[in-house]
Amino acid sequence: MSYQEAIDEVYEMIKNLPKEGQVANYIPELAKVNQDIFAVHLLTVEGDNYHLGENEHIFSVQSIVKVLTLTLALEFEKDKLWDRVNMEPSGNPFNSVVQLEYENGIPRNPFINAGAIVVCDILLDHLKDPAENFLGFVRRLTNNPKVSYNKRISESEKANGFRNYALAHFMKAQHNIKHKIDDVMDFYFAICSLELSCRDACHAFILFANRGKLLTGERVITVSQSKRINAIMQTCGFYDQAGLFSYKIGLPGKSGVGGGIVAVHPGNYVITVYSPRLNNKGNSVLGMKFLEEFTTITEVSIF
C-alpha cells in the first residue's frame, strides 16, 4: 500500500466520526478558526509528497515551534543548554506553575511553556533581532520566504498570557531568566504565532527524519543532535499525553494547541496533520486518531 492510499483509506475511516473537542478558545484569536478544516501532508526523505485536504492552509503552529527554537539554541549552546532546562517528561500540564516551583525554576523539558521561555531567553544572547532572525531560520528550513508570524495571535496571547508571565517571573526570581521579562515574552509570543501549512511544517521537520539534513543536502544539525531531538519529541512532545502518543502512534512528534501535529519517522518521512478541535490535554482529537490509524494500517513505526 502506498502512502497516498494509506492516507486516503484512513481519512475514509475517520471522516464521519463524531465531532469532539474544542478549539483553544483561551486564546481569543484561535477561537475564530474554522473548526472543521482537516489537512494532511507527508514528505519522504526522497522528496516525495503525499497529501489530503487543505494542506496549503496556514495555521498557528503554537508549541510545534518549540522544536525549532530548541534546534537553533542547540546550534549555539551545545550541551550547555541542559544546565538551564531538563529533558524529562513533565507528567503535568504544559503551563504548570507548581512543578516549576518545586524544581527550583528549572523547567522539566524545552517543550513545556516554561522550558520554551528559557530557550527564548538563551536565544536572546545570540540573535541581534530575535524575531526576525528566527523567522529567517524557519524560512531557510521551509524554503518558503512567505512564512511569517500572525501579529493578531501574538497580541492576543500577550494580552491573555498571565500564567506564562508568572512562569517567567518565577524563573527570573530563581536566576534562570537573564534578560528583561518583556523582551523574552515578546519573543516567546511571536514564535508561538508562527504560521505554517502542513506542507511547510513537513519541510521544516524533514531534517529530523533525514539525519540532520534538508532535502537539498544542507546539514543543519549533527546526526547526534537529530537523534537527541527526536528522543525528546518521543518522550516530551505531547504534554502529559506523551506516553499515550508513544503507545498508540509510536513516532516522535510535537503537537500545538493551534491544532497541528507533526510526527517523524526517522529515515523515512515527516507527516503533519491539522485539525483544530483539541482534547482536554491540548492535542488535536482527529490528528491523534488519524496518526494512530495511519501507523496501524502501514505497520510502520519506530518500534
Which of 302, 288, 241, 279 lies closest to 90, judged by CA? 241
Alpha helices for the chain (secondary structure H): 3-14, 66-77, 98-102, 113-124, 130-142, 151-159, 162-173, 181-192, 198-209, 223-236, 242-248, 285-298
| Rounded-to-integer distance, Cα 59 and Cα 79, Å | 32
Query: What amino acid occupies position 95?
Result: N
What backbone phi and psi angles, to 5 degrees, belong to 149? -90, 160
Give the per-residue pLDDT at 79. Answer: 92
Instruction: Give the tens place of pLDDT for each residue, 90-118.
Output: 877 777 788 888 889 999 999 999 999 99
Domains of the chain: 3-298 (3.40.710.10)
Give the per-residue pLDDT at 96. Answer: 74
Give the per-residue pLDDT at 1. Answer: 82
Q: Please give the grid coordinates belonging to residue 68.
A: 525549532
Give the per-residue pLDDT at 303. Answer: 83
Which residues, listed in sequence order, are joined to residue 263 by a DSSP beta bridge? 253, 271
The H helix count followed by the E strand count for the chain is 12, 8
| Rounded-to-integer distance, Cα 8 and Cα 292, Å | 14
- pTM of the model as a whole: 0.96
Q: Which residues of the chain have pLDDT under 70?
A: none
